[in-house]
Amino acid sequence: MISTGDTLPEATLIQMGENGPEEVRVSSKVKGRKVVIFAVPGAFTPTCHSAHVPSFMRTKNQFAAKGVDEIICVSVNDPFVMKAWGEATGATGAGLTMLADPASEFTKAIGMDFDAPPAGLIARSKRYAMLVEDGKVVALNLEESPGACEISAGEGLLEVI
């Protein structure tokens, strides 16, 4: 599992562009930049929808004041769902970047995948938030339970950076 001090592995995520799905290399998002990446078990799921995304919408300006260039939400969903979810929550309008990890490539590469078959969640991402500077993890807050959103919320990450 990825830890503070580690460099993020290369992986391809997908976002919706003007002409449909577009590949986004993780390295292109983090190289020479200060970025927050937070991940959720699933778009439109209760805690993710009502707590996690709104926490980063609320704190976006505080992160910007600390020099954060971009806040990225990652979920093991398809890019169509992530686009709809970004619109439904107001996250896209608030300036958050919604990226899909449909095959769980990035999530597995950093050791954050988990399964919860009773909830219909297979190869999904654990709930976490990290601050990444030039590709290196400088802060990482991982929730013990996928249903909790405390240390991985925007306010929780702000406390440690």
Q: pLDDT tens digits for 18-69?
A: 999 999 999 999 999 999 999 999 999 999 899 999 999 999 999 999 999 9
Closest to 44 in 3D by CA, of 1, 95, 101, 82: 82
**Are 40 and 48 within 8 A, CB to CB?**
yes
Q: How many residues does the chain have?
A: 161
- In which element (H, E) is residue 46 found? helix 46-47
Which of 48, 72, 73, 149 is labelled catalytic?
48
**Are 147 and 41 within 8 A, CB to CB?**
no
**Are 156 and 128 within 8 A, CB to CB?**
no
What pTM was estimated for this model as a whole? 0.97
Q: How many CB atoms lie within 10 A of CB 31?
A: 11
Known active-site residue 149: no
Q: Which domains does the chain have, with CATH numbers?
A: 12-160 (3.40.30.10)
DSSP class of 117: G
The pLDDT tens digits of the residues spanning 100-133 come to: 999 999 999 999 999 999 988 899 999 999 999 9
